[in-house]
Amino acid sequence: MPIRRALLSACVLCLSAPLWAATEKVDLDYRVRFLPDSDQAEVSLTLEEGERVRSLDFDLGEQGYYSDFSADGEWTQDGPGRGVWQPAKGEAKLSYRVRVSRPRGEDRFDARMTKDWALLRGDDLVPSAVLRQQGKTELVARLQFELPEGWRSVETGWPRIGKNRFRIDNPQRKFDRPTGWIIAGKLGTRRAKLGETNVAVAAPIGEGMHRMDILTLLTFVWPQLQEVFPRDPAKLLIVGAGDPMWRGGLSAGNSYYMHAARPLVSENGTSSLMHELVHVFSRIQHRHRSDWVTEGLAEYYAIELMRRAGGLSEERYQKVREQLIDWSRPVKSLRGDRVNGAVTARAVLLLQELDREIRQKTKDNQPRSLDDVTRGLMRLDKVSTKDLVEISERVMGAPSEVLDTALLK
């Protein structure tokens, strides 16, 4: 009998253990109020149970964009670059102001606020932070906007849960913050559901953004996009504006920006719109001087997906290749932490050659292509040239002659 009681006690302990290790969910509410007259936003973070968070160590940068900090608990700032919040017990709040407009080169901006609208990244509203917490704590984050009088709406890449309110949930982060593009003000927005993804194209009224053209092109290529990238994000936001915003494209995890004057397809047959879309879906990031992999794949698929959808004839495709060859002729190496257009062009040519090699070497067994390599790279946190070579040769089942080149040394 004593043995039996011991076994029963052990069973009770086994059943109870998960309860001891249960995750404590704590509300984290962000509030943002735009202040156009001062080119600032007033931001607050409110924790339901401050004692569950030991500290948040923020990277504030060196430019002095953040100011007027006020905190329940202890706030310490080591120069302009870092600030640490140790929340008080119970409901605890941290508030501050952040300057919205951010220059990018001369007379250009990659974030801007006017009297009628604001276009910026949430990464700048709430800077990155190292979270130290008590036990198993899960922050349940929500984002609420207070808009100036006359501003109509706000859009983010996060699911909407109420008027000007969004749910922030990134399983890859302990500290959920509203990353990605945000646009607010007097907006025009067009929406469509493509596959399982709710797509929104938003821009300030009068900025010349071709919203329906963008949705039409996305609808055209979406089936080919999904074949390569097996992801169905709940939401995708595309934002844009005209001068003096930066004349390019910038992607984030759930959204991206395109200058309103950028053509959907350039005269050389490439597409910045598609390039940034591939970045959003692939989420491939580089390491060890291998930016050519990230940018090369984005440009390769910007061309290839248009071709597969029937938007590029074979004749036009070959002309695109000829232009890439001419542009990249001086390139001797693809390696680097940040590649330019000529290197990207040469990377596309290399990837096209690699795709042909993979198809040729696997045609008699299980046909494979560069798509299989890309999906393998998507499983890695960050990729290197060595990763691409190893995955390619694993897919082919043989060494690659294409990748045995001085371009990758």
Mean pLDDT score of the chain? 93
The yes-or-no verdict on residue 1 having pLDDT over 50 is no
Compute φ and ψ for 328, nearest 5 degrees.
-95, 5
- 240, 173, 149, 165: which is closest to 200 by C-alpha? 240
Write out the H or E segment, with its range, that includes residue 192. strand 187-194
Give per-residue pLDDT as tens, 116-162: 999 999 999 999 999 999 888 999 999 999 999 999 999 999 999 99
- DSSP of 371-399: HHHHHHHTTSSSB-HHHHHHHHHHHHTS-
Q: 39 CB contacts (<8 Å, ≥6 apart)? A: 99, 100, 101, 113
Band the pLDDT of 79: cuts 50, 70, 90. confident
- What single letter denotes the amino acid at residue 232? D
- DSSP of 243-296: TTB-SSEEE-SSEEEE-TTS-SS-TTS--HHHHHHHHHHH---B-SSBHHHHHH
Contact 363, 347 (CB under 8 A): no
Tokens describing residue 401: 């002659």
Name the pTM for this structure: 0.90
Give per-residue pLDDT as tens, 317-350: 999 999 999 999 999 999 999 999 999 999 999 9
The yes-or-no verdict on residue 2 having pLDDT over 70 is no
pLDDT at 62: 87
The yes-or-no verdict on residue 270 having pLDDT over 60 is yes
The yes-or-no verdict on residue 365 having pLDDT over 90 is no
Residue 8: count of CB within 10 angstroms of its CB: 10
Band the pLDDT of 212: cuts 50, 70, 90. very high
Domains in the chain (CATH in brackets) are: 24-209 (2.60.40.3650), 281-408 (no CATH)
- Mean pLDDT calculated for residue range 77-103: 95
pLDDT at 10: 46
Q: What percent of the chain is modeled with pLDDT above 70?
A: 95
Give per-residue pLDDT as tens, 281-304: 999 999 999 999 999 999 999 999
- Indicate the SS3 state at residue 49: coil
The yes-or-no verdict on residue 18 having pLDDT over 80 is no
Rounded distance between C-alpha atoms, residue 115 and residue 81, angstroms: 29
Rounded distance between C-alpha atoms, residue 243 and residue 263, angstroms: 15
Give per-residue pLDDT as tens, 98-117: 999 999 988 899 999 999 99
- Indicate the SS3 state at residue 119: strand
pLDDT at 253: 86
Alpha carbon 76 to chain centroid, angstroms: 30
- Mean pLDDT calculated for residue range 28-52: 97
- Mean pLDDT calculated for residue range 378-406: 97
Tokens describing residue 135: 């036990």
pLDDT at 268: 82
| DSSP E strand stretches across 60-152 | 66-71, 73-78, 82-87, 92-99, 102-103, 109-113, 117-121, 129-133, 137-146
Band the pLDDT of 7: cuts 50, 70, 90. very low
